[in-house]
C-alpha cells in the first residue's frame, strides 16, 4: 500500500501514520520528522531548515523533495509507505509525481484529514512529543503515562518549538493557502478519501483500518 496523509498540523496524520504503518509493515515517511532529525544532527540542511520551521513556514521545496526522493528509493524494499506531511503544495505534488514515475511506484490512496481550525488549535496547544522516540501525545485526548513520560519508551516529553501560539497561527495560514489545490489535484486523480480529523484517535484508527482493508483487496 502506498498512501499519502494530507491535512493540517494536529489533524492526527502523524499518530495514525505511525500506527497504520506498524500494523501493515509500511515505511512511515514524515517530512517533519526527517527535518527535525537534520536539525538534531546539526547538518547543513538542518541549519537551513530550522529558520523556516521556527517561523512556521514551509522549508524550500528542493530541500524537502531531496529528502523524500532518498526515502522513497529505500521504501522499495518495504511493502509500501505512508507519506506524512508531503506534499504540502502543488510544486511538491508535481515533483512527487515525477519521482513515483521514475521509480515506477504507483500511488494507491490519498487520505485527507478534514479538520476544523478550532480542533487544530486545541490539538497543537495540548500536544506533547517524546524527545526520544517522537511519539505524539495530547494532554487530554491521548494522555501519556501517569508519570508524565512517554508510554512507549519512557522518554521525556516536550512541547514542540513550533507549537507555540504565533507559530501555530502561521502554520494554519500556510496550510489553508496550499491545501485546496492539493485536494483538487488528488480528487481529479480519483485517489482522495476523506477522514474526519475531529474524531478521536481510536475512531480515526478504526476508520483507516477499514479503508486500508478495503483497498488491499
* Least distance (Å) between residue 111 CB and ligand AMP: 15
Kindly tell me which of 80 and 167 has the beta carbon lying closer to ligand AMP. Answer: 167
Q: Which of 13, 36, 123, 128 is catalytic?
A: 13
CA angle 155, 21, 101 (to 5 degrees): 130
Contacts of 184 (CB under 8 A, 6+ apart): none
For this structure, is 127 an active site residue? yes
Choose among 98, 61, 88: nearest CA to 183. 88
* Least distance (Å) between residue 131 CB and ligand AMP: 15
- Cβ distance 11 to 116 under 8 Å? no
Side-by-side strand order, sheet with 109-114? 27-30, 81-84, 2-6, 109-114, 192-196
For this structure, is 55 an active site residue? no
Kindly tell me which of 86 and 212 has the beta carbon lying closer to ligand AMP. Answer: 86
Q: Which of 2, 36, 123, 127 is catalytic?
A: 127
For this structure, is 36 an active site residue? no
Chain residues in the site for ligand AMP (CB under 6 A): 9, 31-32, 35, 52-53, 56-59, 64, 85-86, 88, 92, 162, 171
Tally of CA atoms within 13 A in the half-sphere of 185 that contains its CB: 18
Kindly tell me which of 136 and 212 has the beta carbon lying closer to ligand AMP. Answer: 136
Residue 216 burial class via C-beta count within 10 angstroms: exposed 0-12, middle 13-18, buried 19 and up: exposed
- The CA distance from 38 to 20, in Å, is 25
Q: Which of 2, 88, 123, 128 is catalytic?
A: 88
- The CA distance from 13 to 28, in Å, is 11
* Least distance (Å) between residue 216 CB and ligand AMP: 26
* Least distance (Å) between residue 147 CB and ligand AMP: 26
Residue nearest to ligand AMP (CB): 32
For this structure, is 88 an active site residue? yes
Kindly tell me which of 51 and 206 has the beta carbon lying closer to ligand AMP. Answer: 51
Q: Residues with catalytic annotation?
A: 13, 88, 127, 160, 171
Amino acid at each position: 500500500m502506498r498512501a499519502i496523509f494530507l491535512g493540517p498540523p494536529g489533524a492526527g496524520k502523524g499518530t495514525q501514520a505511525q500506527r497504520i504503518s506498524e500494523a501493515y509493515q509500511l515505511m512511515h515517511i514524515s517530512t517533519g520528522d526527517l527535518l527535525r532529525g537534520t536539525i538534531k544532527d546539526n547538518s547543513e540542511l538542518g541549519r537551513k531548515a530550522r529558520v523556516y520551521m521556527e517561523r512556521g513556514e514551509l522549508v524550500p521545496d528542493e530541500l524537502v523533495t531531496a529528502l523524500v526522493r532518498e526515502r522513497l528509493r529505500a521504501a522499495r524494499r518495504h511493502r509500501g509507505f505512508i507519506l506524512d506531511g508531503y506534499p504540502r503544495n502543488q510544486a511538491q505534488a508535481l515533483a512527487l509525481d515525477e519521482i513515483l514515475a521514475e521509480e515506477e511506484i504507483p500511488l494507491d490512496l490519498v487520505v485527507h484529514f478534514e479538520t476544523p481550525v478550532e480542533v487544530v488549535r486545541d490539538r497543537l496547544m495540548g500536544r506533547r512529543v517524546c524527545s526520544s522516540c517522537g511519539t505524539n501525545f495530547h494532554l487530554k485526548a491521548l494522555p501519556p503515562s501517569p508519570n508524565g513520560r512517554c508510554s512507549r519508551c519512557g522518554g521525556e516529553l516536550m512541547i514542540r518549538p513550533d507549537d507555540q501560539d504565533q507559530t501555530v497561527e502561521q502554520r494554519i495560514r500556510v496550510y489553508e493557502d496550499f491545501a485546496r489545490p492539493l485536494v483538487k489535484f488528488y480528487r481529479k486523480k480519483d485517489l482522495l478519501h476523506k477522514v474526519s480529523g475531529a474524531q478521536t484517535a481510536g475512531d480515526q484508527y478504526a476508520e483507516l483500518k477499514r479503508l486500508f482493508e478495503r483497498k488491499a483487496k
